[in-house]
Structure 1
Amino acid sequence: MAAVSPAAAARSAAAAVRDGGEMVRRMTPQDLDRIAQAVAEAEKTTAGEIFCVLTPEVSDYRETPLVWAAASALVLPAGALLAGFRPEMLTRLFGGWSVGHQAAHDGAILSALSTYIVLQLVVFVVAALVVSIPPVRRALTPGALKTARVKRAAMEQFLSHGLHVTRDRTGVLIFAALAEHRVEVIADEGIYKAAPNAVWNEVVADLVAGLKRGKIADGFVAAVARTGGILAAHVPPRGDDRNELSDGLTILPRR
């Protein structure tokens, strides 16, 4: 859980949550109101800005089925050969003719190679179809890739919503990616330099605790309250403060 850039602090954590789309659909207007009210209340005590984003999934990881299919097509037939399987066994199994003369040796080799190639193709197609099933695809996608995609998606939201151009560079993004079971908290340099590094782990822990219980709103409300306390301690309100960002939860579409 390291900083994603010199200008921002990012914290990641895994959470045992159910299907992201299902959890988002279960959110009610009251849940959204609670989060917006929590942000509004927190920002009354600080000149900082809090912005919350939720996404069912940051990527479809289309490369995962292809990688697993290619690896399976290379490894499984080769492993079968090492285990004693021979391509001509399939020819006999399906009623093909056996070679009885040395002069036909080249034909036997060609037949064996053709059978091996077909076997690789079959393995590739079957593996690609199996790994394309969403729960399987997510389970077989490397954790490092998920973490990198979530970090990138969170930083894109941080920049696209202008958290890096708030008045005193004290914007904080609270970001949750449900399918990846990861959250990110990104604090701009104005507040990151002022607040102890460890406090952002507490924000992450509050959000993750709610997600583990399947209570998205509870997690965000707790994380917002904790963030508000951090901001209030280091970025007190000023008389000419204005609300620079929306208080409501931004929900991204599934990829």
Structure 2
Amino acid sequence: MVSIAISEADRERVSAAVTAAEGASAGEIVTVVTEQSDPYHDVALQWAVLTLVLVLAWAAAFPNWLLWWRETLLGSDWTGTPSLRATLFFLMALCLLKFTAVLLILRWRPLRLALTPGVTKHRRVRRRAVALFKASAERRTEGRTGILIYLSVAERRAEIVADEAIMAVTTPETWGETMTALTAEIRQGRPADGLIKAVELVGGVLSAHFPRSADDHNEIPDKLIEL
């Protein structure tokens, strides 16, 4: 099981970094860290279905092997003569056994995660980040300057989702260095350090485009959100 491994001291460090970054800009930075963005149960089902299909393909390509296994495991045909019904019943039982075995094996989360395609992880992490941004930061600031830094530990992936005013003056490439710094730290087992670096870099971009005004006030709490 993947552990978030963020101490109380780390939480305070991240919150302090957010406060400092917001002190030089009108932006509002929301930091969220989660152990995993999705359980990927459907991935286990897909692997089980693939296994079932492969068993059927094997039986079609090598019928003699199917008969050999049937006779080895069950002995000679129950009726004493070759039986299509008995062979099909054996094949059905074999498919069901393999299907169930794969589902049970993939209940172990690390293996299920390892067998999840990278594109699927990216899509699920992005979807979760967008949903959390809509709930926590989107249009919750007067100048539409909210931004979410989202870290999903198990997938070792991060996302940055920004409000409309920030999107108008930035591109996805703007956050390249931030994403690199964040993911590099998590791979080293230092998620808090990664978040702090990301906050500092995001704060630099925000201060350049949205300098803090005299009447600016904190519109979203600076604390780290753990899910």
TM-score (ref. length: structure 1): 0.82
Kept in 2: contact 1:54–1:177 (CA 8 A): yes
Alignment of 1:250 with 2:225, yes or no, is yes
Aligned partner (choices 228, 237, 241) of residue 212 of structure 2 = 237
Give the aligned partner of residue 92 of structure 2: 117
One-letter identity of the residue aligned with 2:96: L
Could you list the per-position Cα deviations for residues 38-65 of structure 1 after superposition, in whole angstroms to 9, with x for gaps in the alignment?
A: 0001111111110100001011111111
Could you list the per-position Cα deviations for residues 196-235 of structure 1 after superposition, in whole angstroms to 9, with x for gaps in the alignment?
A: 5532112112211221221111111111111111111110
Structure 1: gaps of 5 or more residues: 1-18
Alignment of 1:31 with 2:10, yes or no, is yes
Aligned residues: 227
Cα 1:33/1:95, change in 2 over 3 Å: closer
Distance in 1, Cα, partners of 2:38 & 2:133:
17
Give the aligned partner of residue 152 of structure 2: 177
Give the aligned partner of residue 67 of structure 1: 46
Give the aligned partner of residue 9 of structure 1: none
Kept in 2: contact 1:55–1:177 (CA 8 A): yes
Question: CA shift at 1:136, angstroms?
Answer: 1.3
Alignment of 1:150 with 2:129, yes or no, is no
One-letter identity of the residue aligned with 2:89: S
Question: CA shift at 1:91, angstroms?
Answer: 3.9
Distance in 2, Cα, partners of 1:180 & 1:141:
10
Kept in 2: contact 1:88–1:111 (CA 8 A): no
Aligned partner (choices 138, 141, 147) of residue 166 of structure 1 = 141
Kept in 2: contact 1:46–1:228 (CA 8 A): yes
What is the SS of the residue equivalent to 1:198?
helix
Alignment of 1:83 with 2:62, yes or no, is yes
Could you list the per-position Cα deviations for residues 63-110 of structure 1 after superposition, in whole angstroms to 9, with x for gaps in the alignment?
A: 111111111012124214423544432342245334898xx56xx011
What is the SS of the residue equivalent to 1:175?
strand
One-letter identity of the residue aligned with 1:183: A
Kept in 1: contact 2:156–2:187 (CA 8 A): no
Give the aligned partner of residue 116 of structure 2: 141
Q: Percent identity?
A: 33
Cα 1:182/1:85, change in 2 over 3 Å: farther
Could you list the per-position Cα deviations for residues 115-150 of structure 1 after superposition, in whole angstroms to 9, with x for gaps in the alignment?
A: 111111111111111222211111111222211111
After TM superposition, where is structure 1 displaced by more than 3 Å over at least 4 residues in a row?
Answer: 83-88, 94-101
Kept in 2: contact 1:203–1:226 (CA 8 A): yes
**Which has the larger displacement, 125-134 or 82-91?**
82-91
One-letter identity of the residue aligned with 1:232: S
One-letter identity of the residue aligned with 2:23: K
Structure 2: gaps of 5 or more residues: none
Distance in 1, Cα, partners of 2:122 & 2:204:
27
What is the SS of the residue equivalent to 1:132?
coil
One-letter identity of the residue aligned with 1:73: L
TM-score (ref. length: structure 2): 0.92
Kept in 1: contact 2:26–2:213 (CA 8 A): yes
Distance in 2, Cα, partners of 1:245 & 1:112:
66
Could you list the per-position Cα deviations for residues 223-248 of structure 1 after superposition, in whole angstroms to 9, with x for gaps in the alignment?
A: 11111111111101112211111111
Alignment of 1:43 with 2:22, yes or no, is yes
Distance in 2, Cα, partners of 1:120 & 1:69:
10
Kept in 2: contact 1:158–1:164 (CA 8 A): no
